[in-house]
Amino acid sequence: MKTFSEIAPLLEGQAIEVPSWAYGNSGTRFKVFGTPGTPRTVEEKVADAATVHRFTGLAPSVALHIPWDLHDDYTALRRYAEDLGIRLGTINSNTFQDDDYKLGALTHTDPKIRQKAIDHHFECIDVMNATGSRDLKIWLAEGTNYPGQGDMRGRQDRLAESLRTIYDRLSEDQRLVLEYKFFEPAFYHTDVPDWGTSYVQVAALGERAVVCLDTGHHAPGTNIEFIVAQLIRLGKLGSFDFNSRFYADDDLIVGAADPFQLFRILFECIRGGAYGPDSDVAYMLDQCHNIEKKIPGQIRSVLNVQEMTARALLVDRDALTAAQDSGDVLLANEIFMDAFYTDVRADLAAWREGRGLPANPMRAYLESGYQEQIEADRVGGTQAGWN
Ligand code: AOS
Ligand code: ZN
Ligand code: ZN
């Protein structure tokens, strides 16, 4: 196994993008609990994201969602973020909260509704031009609930045509990132249910169209790291939406449900050259903090990713390859597991201190007074949430 000091330089510059919506109130269809200190404005969400970065050094950008983060001056918002030491990142579109989209948006049979959904993406691109964002991330809630309800094949054709129109509007340095999800809110068929469909759609568009892999969007038991390896191999892994799940799309803290799975995913990223300064894969969180405090929830999340990255980097890949090639099944597995079982927390604490960061970012945040301050300040107004 490698030593921590051997891999420490590779931890430099690790960047995890946080989602603006993680700072807003969220819940299930049963109840949305209000959390004291929840942001009331986009600026307050950006300030909270910047706080996560200040304590961890791991989260230099925040993803926005349109229209949840509607703003009248994105250039000013960009400056506001930059003054706080972070960037505005991926722009997420929304075609799932409008009555017109009940039966589809980019796939709808009515050209007027398709155009409305395309126009929404054009607006998102305008936002990207002001914020300097590279990625337009599209997650579609589209599908059908009953066999026979829609023409699945026709819907794929209309989707391809709509995506083409959106893609053609992007500039040379922007990307279209298409997310897949196997079910929900549609329960019979979903128009982009899996990585294969997302791949087929983006491959038809061109080089700057790539796939987003949300770790909560697969059937239980799916070997997600295999999909990661395949998409990297094809040059089509655009981004991650990290979170963890026990049952469905739980959107819990990444690494909470299955730290070993996170380790295995990150190992494939490192193995595939998708980790480090030369990679253009966006590592994002897509999470909701329904019952826990939001900023500590985000701090825990980025630290979990850092911890599992360090462990995955510890794998001695030369020794692993030798064991694999010689057919030594158990030695190969042992080399892999040795790295996973290594506790890197003390080494990471010392490494952070060497960089002027708190050894324990969670503790430092809780002692900083920021949480008490926002709980006292942010009273009145409407707390930001999922709509
Ligand atoms: C929905 O299930 C997807 O994970 C989306 O990525 C996301 O949660 C939503 O679109 C917020 O942007
Ligand atoms: Zn997602
Ligand atoms: Zn999701």
In a domain, 84, yes or no: yes
In a domain, 106, yes or no: yes
Is the distance from the beta carbon of residue 158 to the nearest atom of ligand 1 less than 6 Å? no
Q: What is the pLDDT along the chain (387 residues), one digit of tens a residue?
A: 999 999 999 999 999 999 999 999 999 999 999 999 999 999 999 999 999 999 999 999 999 999 999 999 999 999 999 999 999 999 999 999 999 999 999 999 999 999 999 999 999 999 999 999 999 999 999 999 999 999 999 999 999 999 999 999 999 999 999 999 999 999 999 999 999 999 999 999 999 999 999 999 999 999 999 999 999 999 999 999 999 999 999 999 999 999 999 999 999 999 999 999 999 999 999 999 999 999 999 999 999 999 999 999 999 999 999 999 999 999 999 999 999 999 999 999 999 999 999 999 999 999 999 999 999 999 876 667 654
> For residue 210, which of 237, 233, 183 has the smallest C-alpha distance?
237
Structural domain count of the chain: 1
CATH code where residue 318 lies: 3.20.20.150
Residue 226 and residue 228: Cα distance in Å, rounded? Answer: 5
Nearest CA to ligand 1 atom 9: 139
- Judged by its nearest atom, the ligand closest to the C-alpha of residue 19 is 1
Q: How many CB atoms lie within 10 A of CB 172?
A: 5
Is the distance from the beta carbon of residue 69 to the nearest atom of ligand 1 less than 6 Å? no
What is the 347 CA–ligand 2 centroid distance (Å)? 32
Mutation probe of ligand 1 site: the residue of 69, 178, 214, 218 with most atoms within 8 A of C-beta: 214
In a domain, 387, yes or no: no
Residue 97: φ, ψ to 5°: -130, 30
What is the 347 CA–ligand 3 centroid distance (Å)? 33
What is the 253 CA–ligand 2 centroid distance (Å)? 13
At 251 the three-state DSSP class reads: coil
In a domain, 185, yes or no: yes
In a domain, 274, yes or no: yes
Handedness of CA 250, 252, 255, 259 (dihedral sign): negative
Residue 19 and residue 4: Cα distance in Å, rounded? Answer: 30
Range of the domain at 133: 4-377
Asked if residue 258 lies in contact with residue 247, where contact means CB atoms within 8 angstroms, the answer is no
Residue 377 and residue 360: Cα distance in Å, rounded? Answer: 26
Residues lying with their CB under 5 A of ligand 3, a single-atom ion: 249
- Check: pTM over 0.80? Answer yes or no: yes
> For residue 196, which of 164, 166, 226 has the smallest C-alpha distance?
226
In a domain, 385, yes or no: no
